[in-house]
Amino acid sequence: MTRLPDSKVKQAILHPEREVRYVAIKYFSDSFSNDTGVMPVVIDAIEKYGWEHSYSIVGCASSLPQTDETIHWALNELSRGINKADMDQVNYFYNLSRVLAGADPGMLLQHKAEIMESGGLSADFKKNNMKRIDMLSWDGDVCWNALEDFCNVNKTKRYINEVNLGYAFQIIEALSRVGERYCDRIVSRLAEEIKDFENNPTKWMTPLIVALAGKMRLTSAVPLIIEKLKIDSDFLAEECMFALSRIGTDSVIEAVSDVFSDTDSHFRSYASGIFRRIHSDLSVKRSLAFLEKEEDYGIRTMLGMALLNNFAYDGLEIVRKLIIDEIYEPFITDLQEDLIIACTIMEERIPEYEEWKEAVGQRRAKAEERKRNFFGKLPRSGRDEGVDYHTSGDTTQNDQKTHTIFRDAPKIGRNEPCPCGSGKKYKKCCLGKA
């Protein structure tokens, strides 16, 4: 057996340690799992261990597929009274909103009255999700026209925080429902070459079409998406990584592997993210092979993450050696913590398990203290009754532009841990949403 079975990972969602629960949920959310049985286990974990400190768990679960029952649960949770001075509780409500924002609008339609009457949802959130429900009636022509208009209107914009990408991804969501009629058009658009990013609507159209192909799991688009991944654009590259991961087949792994060794670190870093998100024996095999030859510490780290996120048995000793020999990049991730959590979930033990687990616990405690200090510096007005802590509601899965929850917060370094509790660096998490 190369990897831990999905059923065992799902059991870890009920583990007593919150960090272990988070990683187990992330295994399913990162891979764009269609398993509707995951969210009920998440709910069981929240009810077992308490909702008050479960905001990161709910946030990680926000991209999981929902059912009528789980949507009803989220709406019921939003009826709780919370202490607005407690940022964990505030963020719990925020992430419950994200759960609804990631749900199929066809399901939300059945709960339209509950959504509109919910006191736990902001007016902006309600407005934006009513828009998603209204877009259920859009046909293909309306969707394409809206997408063209969006890209043309924003052709002079250079940065993602200058445009309303939440709305753009709502268009993509609507278009994906009728997209089978437009497969040839999608492939044709992906074949277009981006010659100039200045004043060019294609710079927005291309990553959005990539996202559309991924949402439709369009296998014929794979070679073209891989070519787009070679372009040095972070927004485009992320959408390529997400799209290929969502398509999620071994043929994607093979196609990426065919060019991996001949590409630059930009491509290899995002390709490693694909190996991390597509959970298969082939992902493990290719990650092991590339890691053996890789000299870049950053890529080594990401390939090590791919092995651990696949819960690959052969990866444990290899990642352990990366840590002992100090031949990885610690600014990308705490590989020691990742390894300890993987060992815990897999019920495997390395010689340093207890020692490293204690060290990881000490670092977590310091991180929690930094988070408390960060939130403690918030002005009193930011915690008073009546302040709307929720997002605007533009919280589709790949949304890059949302309103920050907190106002006048102290600045955080780009490479510091994000205070939201995701475990990512600030620049790779909430900085882009602020």
Identify residue 185 by its one-letter amino acid code. R
Q: Name 336's Cβ contacts closer than 8 Å, sequence gap at least 6.
A: 323, 356, 359, 360
Query: 3 has which bridge partners?
Result: 312
Residue 276 has pLDDT above 80, yes or no: yes
**The tokens 């670190």 sit on which residue?**
265
Identify residue 303 by its one-letter amino acid code. L
Distances (CA, A) of 387 to 121, 135, 325: 13, 30, 50
Query: 312 has which bridge partners?
Result: 3
User: For position 423, what pLDDT does the model report?
Assistant: 52
- pLDDT digits 0-9 by tens, 11-24: 999 999 999 999 99
Three-class SS of residue 425?
strand
Identify residue 164 by its one-letter amino acid code. N
Residue 430 has pLDDT above 90, yes or no: no
Residue 197's pLDDT band, with cuts at 50, 70 and 90, is confident
Check if the beta carbon of residue 243 is closer than 8 Å to that of residue 273: no
User: For position 371, what pLDDT does the model report?
Assistant: 78
- pLDDT digits 0-9 by tens, 170-194: 999 999 999 999 999 999 999 988 7
For 179, other C-beta atoms within 10 Å of its C-beta total 19
Segment among 4-8, 23-27, 81-85 with least mean pLDDT: 81-85
Check if the beta carbon of residue 276 is closer than 8 Å to that of residue 302: yes
Check if the beta carbon of residue 348 is closer than 8 Å to that of residue 4: no
Distance CA 208, CA 143 (A): 12
Higher pLDDT: 427 or 375? It is: 375
Q: Where are the alpha helices (DSSP H) in 84-182?
A: 87-101, 105-109, 112-117, 123-134, 140-153, 165-177
Residue 398 has pLDDT above 50, yes or no: no
Q: What is the mean pLDDT of residues 207-232?
A: 97
Residue 123's pLDDT band, with cuts at 50, 70 and 90, is very high
Q: Is the dihedral of CA 201, 204, 207, 212 positive or negative?
A: negative
Distance CA 182, CA 174 (A): 13
Distance CA 400, CA 379 (A): 26
Query: 417 has which bridge partners?
Result: 425
- pLDDT digits 0-9 by tens, 299-323: 999 999 999 999 999 999 999 999 9
Residue 399 has pLDDT above 70, yes or no: no
User: For position 263, what pLDDT does the model report?
Assistant: 96
Distance CA 204, CA 292 (A): 37
User: For position 413, what pLDDT does the model report?
Assistant: 45
Segment among 327-341, 349-363, 371-385 with least mean pLDDT: 371-385
Residue 239's pLDDT band, with cuts at 50, 70 and 90, is very high
User: For position 377, what pLDDT does the model report?
Assistant: 55
Could you tell me the pTM of the whole model? 0.86
State the DSSP code for 161: G
User: For position 405, what pLDDT does the model report?
Assistant: 25
- pLDDT digits 0-9 by tens, 249-273: 999 999 999 999 999 999 999 999 9
Q: What is the mean pLDDT of residues 375-400?
A: 42
User: For position 81, what pLDDT does the model report?
Assistant: 85
Check if the beta carbon of residue 248 is closer than 8 Å to that of residue 32: yes
Averaged pLDDT score across all residues of the chain: 88
Residue 370's pLDDT band, with cuts at 50, 70 and 90, is confident
Among 391, 393, 388, CA closest to 169: 393
- pLDDT digits 0-9 by tens, 70-118: 999 999 999 988 888 889 999 999 999 999 999 999 999 999 999 999 9
Query: 425 has which bridge partners?
Result: 417
Higher pLDDT: 291 or 375? It is: 291
Q: Name 239's Cβ contacts closer than 8 Å, sequence gap at least 6.
A: 207, 208, 210, 211, 214, 398
